[in-house]
Amino acid sequence: MIEFRNVSKKYDTGTEAIHNINFKINKGEFAFLVGSSGSGKSTIIKLILKEEEPSSGNIIINGKDTTFLKPSRVPFLRRSMGIVFQDFRLLPDKTVYENVAFAMYVVKATPKHIRRQVPMVLSLVGLSNKAKVYPNELSGGEQQRVALARAIVNNPSMLIADEPTGNLDPNTAWDIMELLNDINLRGTTVVVATHAKDIVDKMNKRVIRIDQGNIVRDEKGGYDEV
């Protein structure tokens, strides 16, 4: 599903963010990408989204090498992934419903499909009763749920979350994690970049640990286990 083969990334500034990284995340897997800030996990996320290009190596997504993907094909690659950020990134002048529907609109879904799909994902994230509310009237956890709903509304085969609980209190963070787990159980591959130790420990999933641009550990378990 997501495979990195000898991937290195050196920025124009000269800093080498990741160095010769290899890993493979299979279809339906749940994997944590952990490490302190500056370790290179954000770079890995950006490379998966094709927001950045690798300096060397190959990145294979859904069986396709994206290294030489034409820029005009990138939108279609991104339609196979749902993306969630630490800062939610909702549109403040659109309601919860509109925020989710927006993601379907821009990929030119039919109105009929939108009317059916949006209520369904809103109920999945437990926000059916907040459809007409604006984001600023919601708590942080609820906003992240909207973002999650938006990320999965187009039925992506994978969900990429970059520090999804970074702005949330521990209880809310745990709710979001459970939701991510639910989504994973429905068959979606989930990759979560985080440095929330307690959550990683509690989830007991595969952990890929990055330190100074290298993978120092890749196994099932908690945050720190060696």
> Which parts of 125-154 interact with another protein (CB under 8 A)?
150, 154
Window of 68-76, 187-195, 199-207, 215-223 that interacts with another protein by CB under 8 A: 68-76
4, 22, 146, 191 from 124: Cα distances, Å: 32, 34, 10, 19
3-state secondary structure of 114: helix
72 touching another protein, by CB under 8 A: yes
Where does this chain touch another protein (CB under 8 A) — which range of 1-9, 72-80, 118-126, 169-177?
72-80
| Candidates 37-45, 83-91, 179-187, 201-209; binding stretch for another protein (CB under 8 A) | 83-91
Beta-strand ranges (E) seen in the chain are: 2-10, 16-25, 30-34, 56-61, 64-65, 81-85, 158-162, 189-194, 205-211, 214-221
**Span near another protein by CB under 8 A; candidates 37-45, 55-63, 107-115, 184-192:** 107-115
Q: With CB under 8 A as the rule, give the number of residues binding another protein.
A: 21
Q: Tell me the closest approach of the beta carbon of residue 84 to another protein, in angstroms.
A: 10
Q: Tokens in use for 47?
A: 């490379």
CB atoms within 10 A of CB 159: 22
Residue partners of 84: CB distance under 8 A and separation at least 6:
144, 147, 148, 151, 159, 160, 161, 162, 164
- Among 22, 36, 106, 128, interactor with another protein by CB under 8 A: 106
**What is the rounded distance in angstroms from the CA atom of residue 226 to the CA atom of residue 224?**
6
Minimum CB separation of residue 163 from another protein in Å reads: 15
Nearer to another protein by Cβ, of 160 and 168: the residue is 160
Residues in 149-188 at the binding interface with another protein, rule: CB under 8 A: 150, 154
The least distance separating another protein from the CB of residue 219, rounded to whole angstroms, comes to 30
By the 8 A CB rule, do 51 and 71 touch?
Answer: no
Q: Is 111 in the site for another protein (CB under 8 A)?
A: yes
**Coil, strand or helix: which one is 70?**
coil
Residues that bind another protein (CB under 8 A): 49, 51, 72, 75-79, 83, 89, 91, 102-103, 105-108, 110-111, 150, 154
